[in-house]
Amino acid sequence: MPRNFELLVFDWDGTLMDSAAAISASLQSACRDLDLPVPSEEQARYVIGLGLNDAMSHILPGLAPSDYPRVVERYRIHFLRQDSATSLFPGVAEAVAELREEGFMLAVATGKSRRGLERALAATGLKSCFHATRCADEGYSKPHPGMLQGLMEELGAANERTLMIGDTTHDMEMARAAGVRRLGVAYGAHPREALLGYDPLACVDDFNDLRHWLAQNA
């Protein structure tokens, strides 16, 4: 049966890793530590997927960029304390390995730093499953299409044969800007209604639904 896609690009946090709650709580704690305005959970979840500097400008618009490193340092301290409590969504490790064995090219486009992604890939044992990865500190942050464009160029994939899979509007907007079709996952950081505003091919409710959709449509 002919495939519709050759390259599947996954977001990491909130799509493969159940880490949205830890990220939002860590952002709130960092602001609290420094006596800065503490974002609501909704505000903190909105910036998941952005690079840390872009996230800072959204949740702390009155803060000078020169002060971002202080917040980022506190954020990392809190997030690393929760590292052991974050894990892949059930079924992710098996599904990613199976998708690679089935012949798909697999990639990650994430708002994490390179250091953070490498740590997560090593901890989960998934590093060897992905053909390429892009992080926010290596170029443009989402929703700029640069990460997707770089992955497609590196792996020789056409945009019409590439699928972006993510849990935020930043993922959906990046894919649309790159001329790539998109699949929303409603179990992560952003609500279903927001994802549907970007005309995804579908919006799934859990990772098992995602795997089933890929089996039927990818």
Backbone phi and psi for residue 100, each to the nearest 5 degrees, phi listed first: -65, -45
- Sign of CA pseudo-dihedral 101, 83, 59, 133: negative
- In DSSP notation, 107-154 reads EEEESS-HHHHHHHHHHHT-GGG-SEEEEGGGSPPTTSTHHHHHHHHH
User: Nearest 5°: CA angle at 44, between 39 and 46?
Assistant: 130
Give CA torsion, residues 86, 92, 93, 94, to 10 deg: 150
CA pair distance 95, 101, nearest whole angstrom: 10
181-185 long-range Cβ contacts below 8 angstroms, 24+ apart: 181/5, 183/210, 183/213, 185/14, 185/15, 185/210
How far is residue 32's CA from residue 38's CA, in Å, rounded to a whole number? 6
Report DSSP state, residue 3.
Answer: -
- Predicted local distance difference test score (pLDDT) of residue 54: 87
pLDDT at 51: 83
pLDDT recorded at residue 2: 75
CA distances for 175 relative to 119, 134, 152, 183, angstroms: 26, 14, 12, 10
pLDDT tens for the chain, 218 residues: list them. Answer: 678 999 999 999 999 999 999 999 999 999 999 999 999 999 999 999 888 888 999 999 999 999 999 999 999 999 988 877 789 999 999 999 999 999 999 999 999 999 999 999 999 999 999 999 999 999 899 999 999 999 999 999 999 999 999 999 999 999 999 999 999 999 999 999 999 999 999 999 999 999 999 999 99
What is the per-residue pLDDT for 1?
A: 60
Question: What are the residue numbers of the active site?
Answer: 11, 13
pLDDT at 48: 92
Residue 41 identity (one-letter amino acid): E
